[in-house]
């Protein structure tokens, strides 16, 4: 195919040529490295309900408004991240499974926050 496309870096058998399997291995290694770089760029919000908000009925109106603003901001950030993630849907079957897990996690976090927002408004 391409002789020494990687400059011999993946010429594992030392024959001076990079064959198809060596190229494929090189691409797989580089793809994995790029994936790790992309993963570090993605920020996943871990949302947990603060114990101080367990009984939302006891919050003052000012506290409820403040908490509502916090929740709406978190929802907005998560929805933006979800939109970005949906634009980057991978074609690769194995990468797609991981992508689906990330989408489901974000959707679950958004749903949990919306439920908390509904409880706050009732």
| pLDDT tens profile 25-46 | 777 777 777 776 555 555 555 5
Q: How many residues does the chain have?
A: 122
- Dihedral sign from CA coordinates of 57, 59, 63, 67: negative
User: DSSP 3-state assignment of 50?
Assistant: coil
Q: Are residues 52 and 78 in the same domain?
A: yes
Instruction: Establish how many alpha carbons lie within 13 A of residue 9's alpha carbon, considering only the half-sphere containing its beta carbon.
Output: 10
Q: Are residues 2 and 26 in the same domain?
A: yes
Q: Are residues 76 and 35 in the same domain?
A: no
Residue 20 domain boundaries = 1-41
Q: Are residues 109 and 53 in the same domain?
A: yes
Q: Are residues 65 and 108 in the same domain?
A: yes
Q: Are residues 63 and 37 in the same domain?
A: no
Q: Are residues 68 and 111 in the same domain?
A: yes
Alpha carbon distance 87, 55 (integer Å): 38
Q: How many domains does the chain have?
A: 2
Which positions of the chain have pLDDT values less than 70? 1-7, 10, 36-59
Alpha carbon distance 57, 23 (integer Å): 62
Q: Are residues 5 and 51 in the same domain?
A: no
Tell me the longest C-alpha to C-alpha distance in the chain: 75
User: DSSP 3-state assignment of 113?
Assistant: helix
Q: Are residues 92 and 57 in the same domain?
A: yes
Alpha carbon distance 49, 112 (integer Å): 9
Q: Say whether pTM exceeds 0.85.
A: no
Q: Are residues 59 and 111 in the same domain?
A: yes
- What was the pLDDT predicted at 36? 61
């Amino acid at each position: 195919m391409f002789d020494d496309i990687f400059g011999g870096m993946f010429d594992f058998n030392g024959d001076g040529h990079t064959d198809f399997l060596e190229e494929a291995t090189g691409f797989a290694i580089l793809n994995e490295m790029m994936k790790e770089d992309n993963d570090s760029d993605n920020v996943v919000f871990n949302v947990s309900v603060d114990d101080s908000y367990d009984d939302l009925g006891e919050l003052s109106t000012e506290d409820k408004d403040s908490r509502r603003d916090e929740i709406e901001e978190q929802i907005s950030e998560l929805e933006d991240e979800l939109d970005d993630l949906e634009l980057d849907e991978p074609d690769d079957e194995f990468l797609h499974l991981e992508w689906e897990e990330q989408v489901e996690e974000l959707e679950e976090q958004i749903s949990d926050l919306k439920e908390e927002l509904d409880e706050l408004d009732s």
